[in-house]
Amino acid sequence: MSIQNTISFHVKEAFKTLYNLELETVEFQATRKEFEGDITIVTFPMLRVIKMNPAQLGNDLGDYLVDKVDEVKGFNVVKGFLNIEIADAFFLNFFNEIKDDEAYGFVETEPNGKAIMVEYSSPNTNKPLHLGHIRNNLLGYSVAEILKAAGNNVYKTQIINDRGIHICKSMLAWQRFGNGETPESTGLKGDKLVGNYYVRFDQEYKKEIVVLVEEGKSEDDAKKQAPILLEAQEMLRKWESGDEATVTLWKTMNQWVYDGFEITYKNLGVDFDTLYYESDTYLLGKEFVVEGLKTGVFFKKDDGSVWCDLTEDGLDEKIVLRSDGTAVYMTQDIGTAIQRIKDYPDVGGMVYTVGNEQDYHFKILFLILKKLGFDWAKNLFHLSYGMVDLPSGKMKSREGTVVDADDLIVEMATTAKEISQDLGKLEGYDDTEKENIYNTIGLGALKYFILKVDPKKRILFDPKESVDFQGNTGPFIQYTYARIQAILRKADLDGNVTLSAVEMSLHPKEKELIKQLQLFPEVIQNAANNHSPALIANYTYDLVKSFNSFYQNVSILGADNDNEKIFRVQLSQVVSNTIKNALSLLGINVPERM
């Protein structure tokens, strides 16, 4: 039983004993730093049950708790706040329970329990991954790891958007201007090569628009009638009808992109358990559109297009099939969701990691799936996130002004190298060790900077600001972890010794650290419930700040006696293990030396 539960039980008993009244809930908060105590009871809400002076109520309850609860050592009352001091024995007993648990805070998954499928990345196969994809991947991967740590079975997945007009634009531009070049002949990653032709299409398209406008057409008509666009649309129709040459080119260029993506995912440190392809799932979506027509979920307009009328639900009409029979994004998303449940019957819910510009799309998708009669549709969640901006402004893929993911990963390592060299952090390391640490620091800085922000908020990303060895940054936390490893190497103590309150008393900084450690399991559960890696990131920063305060105020290796030294080394070990576990939930590695 937690200390809050224990105290809560006895406070309710106090109300019965002292006032012959029933109290339903007890409100706790952290004790403010200017007051003595470890936990605070707020008495003001109790005044709804009993009318009396809040300070007197606090004193009555404090006296009762000191008398009845072994863990309560003392108390003080400030207005309506009852600040309780907890005995050292409670904190030492807790610490001894967790000190040998390397997975402290993590809940074991039930082998046969319901699973959650987390979708992230889900790129188009017409361009390389960029900074926006990085936020998507980091969020999705981290949420999957947090859900696992909270006790859920998890599948990581993505839907690869490998069909549609945007794919045909890259294919057509390569046909026209590529002269048969390949990733091998150019030395380019396949996704970058294909992305270059997506940009080239846009350039040629704009030229044709200018010519048509000069010939007297309106800009809107010119955009619709540009020959290169009409040819791309014809290529899409050929692909959907199974034209052999078009499908062969599509397979070839998509494979170039997949090979390129695989390298980026590996460098970024994310992975997937299963992959889905829009070119497969849109067909299943079309089947269910036909079924929905029969049951009245959808209706057909005069031009042959199929829609879902959601006006009674406060939304609007949504197209699910074009008049020419071709699918839209909604069609394939319906098919993908259904296919996933067919493939993994143990999945009871799904998390879609997609930018907030698609909020409306997912409201409609989830509603349509409910109307189609799928019970699991009530457990679908859109992990909506804000855009990532750079000091230089907004990114645009078709204009070639995006920040390439691979380039950014390299830039982060380079920035880490420059700052580390300026600070003299890695003197005495060989070149291979240095490069490994630069990569670890650079990637850790990138991930932490993005994940410490609430997913819903927009981010202004500054690479140099993120690689800072001070403040709420990845490198600051990694450096603290490495500092603890240095202490542990010097200490060389037997970690199996268990100390009790009879043998020692706690320094306030030691107690503060243990209280911070106590929060970790609850933080994981909250982060899972809220789909928010930011809660893990900012908890880790608070833990590191507590450790550094402990480190500056208490001598670890120069302690007054062996018991103090053993305990402080053990405490440092548990803190470092918790830092490592917390950062692992963010996909961040820790260096053993820095």
Residue whose entry in the numeric block shows the structure tokens 């997937």 = 272
| Residue 423 CB partners (closer than 8 Å, separation 6+) | 469
Distance from C-alpha of 526 to C-alpha of 158, rounded to nearest angstrom: 25
Q: What is the pLDDT of residue 466?
A: 83
- Burial status of residue 571 (CB atoms within 10 A of its CB: 0-12, 13-18, 19 or more): buried
DSSP states of 547-559 as a string? HHHHHHHS-STT-
The residue type found at 429 is Y
How confident is the model over 97-150, as pLDDT tens digits?
999 999 999 999 887 788 999 999 989 999 899 888 999 999 999 999 999 999
The answer regarding whether domain 3-86 maps to CATH 3.30.1360.70 reads: yes
The two structure tokens encoding residue 260? 């390129």
Alpha-carbon distance values, 540 to 28, 50, 94, 320 (Å): 22, 40, 20, 45
Q: Tell me how crowded residue 482 is: count the other CB atoms within 10 A of its CB.
A: 17
- Asked if residue 362 has pLDDT above 70, the reply is yes
Q: What is the pLDDT of residue 398?
A: 45
- Asked if residue 300 has pLDDT above 70, the reply is yes
Residue 355, strand partner residues: 385
The candidate with the shortest Cα–Cα distance to 332, out of 491, 454, 116, 161, is 161
Q: In angstroms, how far is CA 527 from the centroid of its own chain?
A: 9
277, 157 Cβ separation under 8 angstroms: no
Q: What is the pLDDT of residue 425?
A: 66
User: How much is the average pLDDT of 91-95?
Assistant: 93
pLDDT band (50, 70, 90) for residue 395: very low
Distance from C-alpha of 414 to C-alpha of 439, rounded to nearest angstrom: 8
129, 352 Cβ separation under 8 angstroms: no
Distance from C-alpha of 534 to C-alpha of 142, rounded to nearest angstrom: 10
DSSP states of 110-127 as a string? PTTS-EEEEE----BTTS
Distance from C-alpha of 24 to C-alpha of 436, rounded to nearest angstrom: 56
- Asked if residue 548 has pLDDT above 50, the reply is yes
Q: What is the pLDDT of residue 229?
A: 97
How confident is the model over 562-589, as pLDDT tens digits?
889 999 999 999 999 999 999 999 999 9
Pick the CATH number of 120-294+328-389 from 3.40.50.620, 1.20.120.1200, 1.20.58.740, 3.60.15.10: 3.40.50.620
Buried-state track 323-337, b at ≥16 Cβ within 10 A, e below 16? eeebbbbbbbbbbbb
How confident is the model over 430-468, as pLDDT tens digits?
888 888 999 999 999 999 999 999 999 999 888 778 887
The two structure tokens encoding residue 391? 């000091």
Q: What percentage of the chain has pLDDT greater than the value 70?
A: 96
The residue type found at 479 is Y
The candidate with the shortest Cα–Cα distance to 26, out of 51, 58, 53, is 58
The domain segmentation of the chain, as residue ranges, is 3-86, 120-294+328-389, 406-585
How confident is the model over 307-339, as pLDDT tens digits?
999 999 999 999 999 998 888 889 999 999 999
DSSP states of 330-391 as a string? HHHHHHHHHHHHHH-TTEEEEEEEEEGGGHHHHHHHHHHHHHTT-GGGGGEEEEEE--EEBT
How confident is the model over 225-246, as pLDDT tens digits?
999 999 999 999 899 889 999 9
Reported in sequence order, the residue ranges of 237-295 that DSSP labels E, i.e. its strands, are 274-277
Q: In angstroms, how far is CA 169 from the centroid of its own chain?
A: 32
- What is the H or E stretch that residue 522 is in? helix 520-530
Distance from C-alpha of 304 to C-alpha of 582, rounded to nearest angstrom: 54
Q: What is the pLDDT of residue 112?
A: 77
Q: Considering the domain 406-585 in this protein, what is its CATH number?
A: 1.10.730.10
Sign of torsion over alpha carbons 64, 65, 68, 74 = negative
- Asked if residue 480 has pLDDT above 70, the reply is yes
Residue 380, strand partner residues: 350
